[in-house]
A and B are shown apart, each in its own frame.
Chain A
Amino acid sequence: MITKVEEQDGRFAVTLEGEMDTAAAVEAESILKPLYNSDGKDVVIECKNLEYIASSGLRILLGILKGAKAAGSSVVLRNVNDDIKNVFKLTGFIDIFKFE
């Protein structure tokens, strides 16, 4: 999978592409770890090409959300496909994340 993080206009723009299975999540976490402490900056995660996510991926997203919440910033997920949204539903994450 591909994981990219950019800083634009004072916020973090994250792009997730491909399949984020448990093995891929290990790699992705090493890239996304800085976002666990976002210093009050909002985080936008582009999921347009994200095809799959396992619970380990969800844990990373939860870590980012917890950090942002603590600093008073927001986390927005963009273009999440229905299959993945279903996983958010099953876990109750649909209520704690913002979707665009």
Chain B
Amino acid sequence: MKNKSWLFRVGIVVMAAVLVEIISIIQYERVQKIMRQEMNDRSQIILTALADDIVHNLEITETTMNENVLELRRSLAHPDSVYSAIKHVIDDNPHVIGGCMAFVPGYYPSKGRLYEPYVSKENGGFVMRQLAENGHDYTQNETFRRAATVKAPVWSDPYVFGPDSLKFATYSYPLMDRKGRLAAVCGLDLDLSWLGDTLNARHHYPSSFRLLLTQSGKLVAGPSSKRISPEVVHTVMEILSGKVPASAHPEYALMKGAMDRAPYWQVVQVHRTDEVFERMHRMRRQQMLFILLALAILAFMINRYAHNDKKLREASQEQARLGGELAVASRIQHEMLPKTFPPFVYGSLEPAREVGGDIFDFFNRDGKLFFCIGDVSGKGVPSAILMSVVHSIFRMTAGNENSPSRILHVMNQELCRSNDSNMFITFFVGCLDLYSGELIFSNAGHDKPFVMCGTVTQLDTKANLPLGVFPDTNFIEQNCTLAPGTTLVLYTDGLTEAKNIERRQFGLAGVQQLLEENMTSGVVTPVDLVSSMSEAAHSFAGSAPQSDDLTMLVIRYAPENLVRESITLENDIADISKLSAFVKGFCGSIPIERSAAANIRLALEEAVVNVMKYAFQDGDKGTVTVLADSNRQELRFTVIDCGIPFNPTSVMEVDTTLDVESRPIGGLGIHLVRRLTDSLHYQRMAGRNILTMTKKI
């Protein structure tokens, strides 16, 4: 997997590199083409201009000739005037440095067979010579012959002549006499030495140069050997002549411009391609550098992205896992809360997050409703964990303990022992006797519950320290008796401190007003009150997020069909018959079916006999009081005596499977009590043994 993603990343970078390189090459080729075209166009302009320049020079020379033809023709009559005529002509044109008349052989018999007067400009003056005297046979001259043959003016190819290696081209004009016969060929030598310099006067590139060639490809003029080595010129000439293919020398770019008239000389522009494209090459190198840099950045970014992506994926997986676990935790926490509610109790817990630090719980034992509400400091997972601990400690403690303050005490001891994180819990524990309305409660720093009974007031609880603060906290227990129809409203600060967007709190007054409105409009059932409060808190908060866990527990004390009777007996077995009569009478008033009543009578008799036998020392006088309560669904009997501490529930179970010989005589009574009742609890309180039995009807 890792290897694969690495390959993938490298692949992306390589692909990007190839793509960029292809684009760059295409662009490079295109730019090169454009530049080459541009170079050609520019060179063509220059070459044309140069050709025009040369043509212009040639034309001037031709004009000079044409203007003087008559005079030259006139001079034919006097052979010796030819010199002055020639002199006159060449003096007219600064570029013409010499002129001659090459007479057809034997034209002047006096002058010999060949006669060629020649005038040249030398050192600011004119020098006259008869060239034939030096044995110059002009009749062999190509130009002479051509001019004589075609009887039309022709230009010679340029040539080098004289001691100064001057470069000339000669304009040869066939001169006719009066009879229309060819008399001589008049030649004007045009100085071409300027050409090489003019041709190569200015160049775009240091190695560029231009050449002037004849129509047949002979080199006429080129750059000075100081600037361009003769070998280079030689190589270019070989290319031009076709001896070497141009492809063998890609370093040279050649362009030709030809004259549009005779003598059709050619001007050749030579560039070195590396010079022309030097700037482009430099640009390309820079571009490559930029591309490499961009690719490196790309690779880095891909790597970073892949790395981040991996981390992000891991983080999101982790978050999903945590989310899943939180959902499970939330479900577990919810399942720990009471789910079924009798009509007189209702509670709800809405955590601000997935899990909360609030708790409520209740259970009915011996006709007494034990209930609690609490708030662990903080919220979220840490407080939820502690809340679970608090919940189980409460269940364990309250299962055997009747006194709320004792419950708080035991819970506090346990929570202080293992509270290194200094979290604390506000906790309220109450025990409501569903028959008598007696409420015993102890408050460990929790919000005071509301009491709805005609008016809405707060229960006057003494605020003890919360749980988990000091192990030696003394929790004060209080009690009061609720009138039938009283409703207790317990809540956590998630209700009173519900905040709206303006950060204002719902407040105690808000809750109190809400409860008063509910009471006025006759909303008294626990379930209705809870949903009304929850709705009010949410609509108050509006779009503001829930700031804290919202927990409510409402208990309504509304006993119906309560029957309560009591009897007090001496601790004398003989008084048992009074108990029998009492039980019969009580069961008859409910009424209870005969055989069920017999079972109840038996259980109660066995319990009372046990107390009479074991709670009193021999001869000690005392009383045993039996309280009988019923709400038409359940019977509850409370046996209270002031004897020595004696817990009948601690007596070992008898083994009812033993055979006759092994069966012990005793232990049957308490066994019967256990079997005939639904619950049996013993409590020692205020110097009295209190045994409570319940039996569902």
Which among B573, B660, B668 is the interface contact of A26 at CB below 8 angstroms?
Answer: B573
In chain B, what residue has the closest Cβ to A75?
Answer: B660
A59 to B668, CA, bound (A): 8
**Is A66 at the interface (CB under 8 A from chain B)?**
yes
Interface residues of B in 652-697 (CB under 8 A from A): 654-661, 663, 665-666, 668-669, 671-672, 675-676
**Is A58 at the interface (CB under 8 A from chain B)?**
yes
B668 touches A91 (CB 8 A): yes
A90 touches B669 (CB 8 A): no
Interface size on A, residues (CB 8 A): 26
**Is B561 at the interface (CB under 8 A from chain A)?**
no
Which among B577, B595, B606, B655 is the interface contact of A82 at CB below 8 angstroms?
Answer: B595
In the bound complex, residues from chain B placing their C-beta under 8 Å from that of A62 are 660, 663, 665
B584 to chain A, nearest CB (A): 10
Which among B609, B657, B676 is the interface contact of A90 at CB below 8 angstroms?
Answer: B676
A41 to B254, CA, bound (A): 154
B602 touches A52 (CB 8 A): yes
Chain A 52-66 interface mask (CB, 8 Å, partner B; 1/0): 101110110011011
A92 to B656, CA, bound (A): 5
Which among A23, A63, A65, A82 is the interface contact of B576 at CB below 8 angstroms?
Answer: A23
**Is B574 at the interface (CB under 8 A from chain A)?**
yes
A56 touches B595 (CB 8 A): no
A93 to B641, CA, bound (A): 31
B672 touches A22 (CB 8 A): no
B576 touches A69 (CB 8 A): no
**Is A46 at the interface (CB under 8 A from chain B)?**
no
Interface residues of B in 597-646 (CB under 8 A from A): 598-599, 601-602, 605-606, 609
Interface residues of B in 527-579 (CB under 8 A from A): 573-577
B659 touches A21 (CB 8 A): no
Given the known inter-chain contacts A52-B598, A55-B668, please indicate yes or no for A65 contacting B606, CB distance below 8 A: no
Which among A23, A66, A87, A90 is the interface contact of B661 at CB below 8 angstroms?
Answer: A66
B676 touches A63 (CB 8 A): no
**Is B647 at the interface (CB under 8 A from chain A)?**
no
A92 touches B609 (CB 8 A): no
**Is A17 at the interface (CB under 8 A from chain B)?**
no
B577 touches A21 (CB 8 A): yes
**Is A83 at the interface (CB under 8 A from chain B)?**
yes
B658 to chain A, nearest CB (A): 8
Chain B 88-110 interface mask (CB, 8 Å, partner A; 1/0): 00000000000000000000000
Interface size on B, residues (CB 8 A): 31
A21 to B665, CA, bound (A): 17
B542 to chain A, nearest CB (A): 63
Which among B575, B654, B659 is the interface contact of A96 at CB below 8 angstroms?
Answer: B659
Which among B606, B654, B657, B660 is the interface contact of A54 at CB below 8 angstroms?
Answer: B606
A81 to chain B, nearest CB (A): 9
In the bound complex, residues from chain B placing their C-beta under 8 Å from that of A95 are 657
B595 touches A54 (CB 8 A): no
A23 to B609, CA, bound (A): 10
B585 to chain A, nearest CB (A): 15
Which among B606, B656, B661 is the interface contact of A55 at CB below 8 angstroms?
Answer: B606
A22 to B658, CA, bound (A): 24
Given the known inter-chain contacts A21-B576, A83-B595, please indicate yes or no for A96 contacting B660, CB distance below 8 A: yes
A54 touches B602 (CB 8 A): yes
A23 to B574, CA, bound (A): 5
A19 touches B580 (CB 8 A): yes
A96 touches B663 (CB 8 A): yes
A96 to B658, CA, bound (A): 9
A52 to B663, CA, bound (A): 22
A63 touches B665 (CB 8 A): yes
A56 to B669, CA, bound (A): 8
In the bound complex, residues from chain A placing their C-beta under 8 Å from that of B675 are 90
A58 to B599, CA, bound (A): 15
In chain B, what residue has the closest Cβ to A65?
Answer: B660
B659 touches A22 (CB 8 A): no
List 6 A-B pairs, minimum CB-CB distance, nearest first: A92-B656, A55-B668, A55-B669, A23-B576, A90-B675, A22-B576
Query: With contacts A21-B577, A62-B660 known, what are 13 further pairs, Cβ within 8 A?
Result: A21-B605, A22-B609, A23-B574, A52-B598, A55-B609, A55-B668, A56-B669, A59-B668, A82-B595, A87-B672, A90-B676, A91-B654, A96-B659
| A interface residues, Cβ below 8 angstroms from B | 19, 21-24, 26, 52, 54-56, 58-59, 62-63, 65-66, 69, 82-83, 86-87, 90-92, 95-96
10 A-B contact pairs sorted by A residue (CB < 8 Å): A22-B576, A54-B605, A59-B665, A65-B660, A83-B599, A87-B602, A90-B671, A91-B654, A91-B672, A96-B663
